Structure 1
Amino acid sequence: MLWGVNASTTTTPPLPSPASVVPRVRHLGRPRRPDPGSRPPLDPSGTPSAPGALSPLGLLTLLLGAALPMIDFFIVNVALPTIDKDLDAGPAMLEMVAAGYGVAYAVLLVLGGRLGDTVGRRRLFLIGTALFALTSLACGLAPDAWTLVVARVVQGAASALMLPQVLATIQSTTTGQRRGRALGLYGATGGIAAVLGQVAGGWLVAADIAGSGWRSIFLVNVPVAAAAIVLSLRTVPETRSPRPARVDVRGTALLAATLLTLLVPLMEGHAVGWPWWTWLLLALSPVFGAAFWRVERSAERSGGDPLLPPSLLANDGMRGGLLVALPYFTGFGGFMFVMAVALQQGMGLGPVIAGTALAPMAAAYFAASLLAPRLVNRFGRHVVTGGLVTQGLGLVAVIGTAFAAWPRLGALDLVPAMLVLGFGQGLVMGPLFRVVLSEVPADRAGVGGGVLTTTQQSSLALGVATLGTLFLSLSAAHGTLDALAVTLLVQLAVVVTAIALSVRLPRQVA
């Protein structure tokens, strides 16, 4: 049975300069007057002027909104055994509870970024946050497994509306060192939220607040989302692209088909026994991907509005950052899943202990995230490389600890290894986001943020599907310890690949 972490990722390619983009503005009927309250003043470059600058409280509000989708991606994993018992869900249905959220999230992220560029980023952030609160309530009150699955899919769609607006608003309302610090904090928020999601999930399930059991992991989102809505109305400036683009219907449909045919069979295949349709979908995924790329290239050459402008990938920072992000987030997602399954299913530990074992990693991650911006200013891309090397040493320490303490491996045994691992991860994520987004023009911030987060979320899901399936297959045949060691060694090889790719990053980061 697959009880674990699911996640997905993203990064952003270089964008064409505003001069190279032919604006297309179509008005139906009488032209509408601009609402002074709906968009901040813009200078000729498309960047909001001082009245639209992002305050520290506004940044904190956006980071709170960014944390919610990531926490909810991971928080459900430690609760899956309890959900199975309460709703009589079964393995395949449990996979859909976790995977439905992740697939909808990854598929709609780029579209969410485009819509924010057009209708207003704060407006779409508010809509997405309100929908996230409502769907969280629906998840918490779900009477059966199918209702929970549907609510989780819509919750993933709500997250896809929220998250791209955070990066786009940061890009549009900050410059220079303020932007670098904000992007570093954004990257740190994602990693810490992922770890704390599993920690908090274990504690909430065990606390059984008012007899709510697993339902509390969803119900707790409602007041937090409400607070984010109130704060954003007061502290987050409205921004949008000065050159709003039309929705790329063909590109959106082909991107959705590409991701769905890749992620659905990978995330559901193990639970349903890999029937013929899973292999058919996997075979169709590259076909849809090639068609998507051709359509996007054709749209950009003809002066249209492609969902993902291929020229974005011409930027060294974007292209190099994405190449590093893919193996990094794949390994991160796989590790979180494998540890959750190994500690709970393999060793019989409860959700509280399984979640608490990851707490030192979150603490070290937070400490490294605070240091990372200053280190990047001084050492540039070498911070990312050093963080990846430290993460690799942490993985070796986890393997060594498991063999030394088995079969009595506990949360305290893992503390030193988790500290090293978390510190390395904290030196990677924030600087990596900064590398990828540092040269994205403000007027294309929504597209860039959507591409980055799509890469992130898809890679996290890929890690769960590949490393998770490897672990589950090996554990059934050879036991938990050997399966854990082999899987972490494979992840170590993935980290080594990321280290080799990191030398292609720009030496200095803006």
Structure 2
Amino acid sequence: MTVTAAAAAAGVQPYRLRWAALFVILAAEVMDLLDALVTTIAAPTIRKELGGSESLVQWLGAGYTLAMAVGLITGGRLGDLYGRKRMFVIGACGFTAASLLCGVAGSPELLIAGRVVQGLFGAVMLPQGLGMIKEMFPPEELGKAFGMFGPVMTIGSVGGPVLAGWLVDADLFGTGWRMIFLINLPIGLAAVVAALRCLPEHRLSGATRLDLPGVALVSAAAFLLIFPLIQGRESGWPAWTFVSMAASVVVFALFGWYESRRARAGRDPLITPSLFRKRSFSSGLVAGLAFFSGMMGFGLVFSLYTQLGLGFTPLQAGLAALPQALGGVAGFGLAMSGLQARLGRGLMQIGTLVMAAGAAVLALTIHLAGVDVSGWQLSPGLALVGIGMGLTMAPFFDIVLAGVEPHETGSASGTLTGIQQLGGALGTAVLGTLFFDLLASGWEFGSSMQVTVWVEVGLLALTFALTYLLPRHARPESEPQHA
């Protein structure tokens, strides 16, 4: 079906079928969101029961997000080439099978491999849903359809850590931490069956071939950077770790050269090179890398601090992080009440300042209370961090994409979302390694957590400075972007 035909069909597609298809897509989004969050809470228990080094804790998150970052760049194009419904079903089946692999893994290596496979199939599954929504719904219902993502993602972000903690503590059927992955089986199978029944078929006419050499180069560059950051500490930072990180810079440069050459030859590049000549977009990528690195790395370290340092159970750790999640909901709600439209990038600046203030309050609380700090005492700082996070994230994608030309939007959106995931992997690697390094040097858990918090403040300061290079407002005619 061509794009024109699909758009014409959307107006006559049954109302109930459109909304049933939307809930299938939302179920896939929830699976991804939960799997991005649950290992942060469950990682200490997994390591205790499964064995493995401290780097296992980092790889559980970084393996997933790194695979997702690389895969998202090509995931949407696979739907254009082979059909969105087909690729959604393949992605959902693969994600569910990978969840089973994680749930029965008997070694750290097999579990990390399962997480990587999850990320790759998630990157195939998720982009298809957004494309199908635009084809299924008429213009007057499109805003309402995209509006459903907000509440669903909010519930997932708030409930994910708590659910993970409860599942680990409950030890249902003797599965322990494995249930955080096995719970995907009924959700995934239901999504596959419902997708086969409800989702419309769509394929973009005239779609171009995949840029496989580009995928290989960017994958290699990302791996050369992340691997030594996680494994280097345990190996004593030998020479090969620094060689690998230097090589990643070279391979990233080679990737840029190859993409420019491919574009000049008239072939479709993986990432449109003209995007990097736009100051606002390039600055937005760096700001996003700094912001999401700090956010995801902070989440991992806070979970380690509460469980290993304070002796919290996984459920208690999930509940301790709840004020941040609820603050994020409040911040996002404030932004959507009209602040985003009025303040533009100013809202991002306010958000980073509030988030930094919350981090400072958290560091001060940990310093004053010491090892006897309670979850309630941590709540004010975490709530401020969450509010600032919601205020910053709400306008981020629209502001960064404001200076992008219409024909560049697809490549820009995929690149920006990929940077979000890459930032998660980088933050998990850098802040996790810093935290473990400090502990190995004899620092106490509280002091190590405080240093990590101040690094997060530094990343927020960098994000704040870079916002001045972004457009003041999003384009009025631009659609809200989903990440």
Structure 1 length normalisation: TM-score? Answer: 0.82
1:385 and 2:349 matched: yes
Does 68-77 or 277-286 show the bigger shift? 68-77
Instruction: Summarize deviations over 1:21-66 as a string: whole Å, max 9, x none.
Output: xxxxxxxxxxxxxxx4x866267xxx99645899566445434322
2:402 is the alignment partner of 1:458: no
Q: Give the conservation status (yes or no) of the 8 Å contact 2:58–2:429.
A: no
2:320 to 341, 357, 361: 357
> Higher relative contact order by CA 8 Å / sep ≥ 6: 1 or 2?
1
Q: Give the drift of 1:356.
A: 0.9
Displacement of 1:394 in angstroms is: 1.2
> Structure 1: how far apart are the matches of 2:48 and 2:423?
30
Whether the 8 Å CA contact 1:188–1:369 is kept in 2: the answer is: no
Judging changes above 3 Å, is the alpha-carbon distance between structure 1 residues 317 and 297 closer, same or farther for their aligned structure 2 residues?
A: same
User: Any conservation in 1 of the 2:58–2:432 contact (CA below 8 Å)?
Assistant: no
RMSD of aligned residue pairs (Cα, Å): 3.2
CA contact (8 A) 1:327 1:495 kept: yes
Task: Indicate the residue corresponding to 1:411 in structure 2.
Answer: 375
The answer to whether structure 1 residue 401 and structure 2 residue 365 are counterparts is yes
Tell me the CA shift for residue 505 of structure 1: 2.5
Equivalent residues of 2:91, 2:122 under 8 A apart: yes
SS at match of 2:263: helix
| Aligned counterpart, 1:492 | 457
Work out which of the residue numbers 423, 434, 439 in structure 1 matches 2:398. 434
Percent identity of the aligned residues? Answer: 37
- Partner-residue secondary structure (3-state), 1:503: helix
Letter in 2 for 1:499: F
Q: Counterparts of 1:418-429 in structure 2 under 5 Å?
A: 418-429=382-393
TM-score normalised by the chain length of structure 2: 0.86
Residue in 1 that maps onto 2:83: 120
1:475 to 433, 439, 442: 439
8 Å Cα contact 2:224-2:247 kept in structure 1: yes
CA distance in 2, matches of 1:244, 1:262: 32
1:344-393 C-alpha deviation (Å, 9 max, x unpaired): 11222221111111112112212332342333233322222222222112
SS in 2 for 1:407: helix
Relative to structure 2, which stretch is displaced further, 365-374 or 309-318? 309-318
Which AA in structure 1 matches 2:68? Y
Shift of 1:341: 1.2
Q: Which runs of 5+ in 2 are unaligned?
A: 479-483
For 1:226, which of 189, 193, 197 is the aligned residue? Answer: 189
Residues 101, 153 of structure 1: 8 Å contact kept: yes
The letter for the 2-side match of 1:432 is: F
SS in 2 for 1:406: helix
Task: Tell whether the 8 Å contact from 1:188 to 1:429 is kept in structure 2 after alignment.
Answer: no
Tell me the alpha carbon deviations over residues 119-167 of structure 1, each in whole angstroms, 9 at most, x when there is no partner: 2333322211111111111211223333323322222211121233344
For residues 185 and 311 of structure 1, the distance between their equivalents in structure 2, rounded to whole angstroms, comes to 33
What secondary structure is seen at the aligned counterpart in 1 of 2:300?
helix
**Shift, 1:440, TM fit:** 6.5
Residues 151, 301 of structure 1: alpha-carbon distance in 2 compared, 3 angstrom cutoff: same
Other-structure match for 1:17? none
User: Structure 1 95/489 Cα, relative in aligned 2: closer, same or farther at 3 Å?
Assistant: closer
- Cα distance in 2, alignment partners of residues 88 and 371 from structure 1: 44
Task: Report the alpha carbon displacement of residue 439 of structure 1 after superposing the two structures with TM.
Answer: 7.2
Q: CA deviation at 1:215?
A: 0.7
Gaps of 5+ in 1: 1-35
Distance 2:298 2:41 in 1: 14
Q: Shift of residue 304 of structure 1?
A: 0.6
Alignment of 1:93-108 (within 5 A): 93-108=56-71
The code of the aligned residue for 1:473 comes to D
Q: Does 1:203 align with 2:142?
A: no
| 1:56–1:326 CA distance, 2 compared to 1 (3 A) | farther
**Is the CA contact 2:62–2:426 (under 8 Å) kept in the aligned structure 1?**
no
The amino acid that maps onto 1:122 is: K
Q: Is the 8 A contact 1:133 1:226 kept in 2?
A: yes
Q: Which amino acid aligns with 1:461?
A: A
Q: Which amino acid aligns with 1:72?
A: D
Check 1:504–1:48 CA distance in 2 against 1; reply closer, same or farther (3 A cut). Answer: farther
Aligned-partner Cα distance in 2 for 1:385–1:479: 33
Residue 291 of structure 1 corresponds to which residue in structure 2? 254
**Is 1:303–2:263 an aligned residue pair?**
no
Deviates more, 1:283-292 or 1:170-179: 170-179
1:306-360 deviations in Å (ceiling 9; x for gaps): 1111123455664443232121101101110110111111222221111111112
Q: Matches of 1:469 and 1:87 in 2, distance apart? A: 20
Q: In 2, are the aligned partners of 1:164 and 1:446 still within 8 Å (CA)? A: no
Corresponding residue number in structure 1 for 2:288: 325
Q: Relative to structure 1, is the Cα distance of residues 175 and 200 closer, same or farther in structure 2, using a 3 angstrom cutoff?
A: same
Query: Is 1:81 aligned to 2:39, yes or no?
Result: no
C-alpha distance in 2 between matches for 1:269 and 1:381: 38
Deviation at 1:286, TM superposition (A): 0.8
Residue 503 of structure 1 corresponds to: 468
Corresponding letter in the other structure for 1:506: P
90-99 or 281-290, which moves further after superposition? Answer: 90-99
Q: Deviations over 1:261-292 (max 9, x none)?
A: 11121222234433333222212101111110
Structure with more helix by fraction: 2
Distance, in Å, in 1 between the alignment partners of 2:59 and 2:355 is 31
1:26-425 map, 5 Å: 36=1, 41=5, 50=11, 58-169=21-132, 193=156, 196-233=159-196, 236-314=199-277, 318-373=281-336, 374-425=338-389
The CA deviation at 1:451 is 1.4
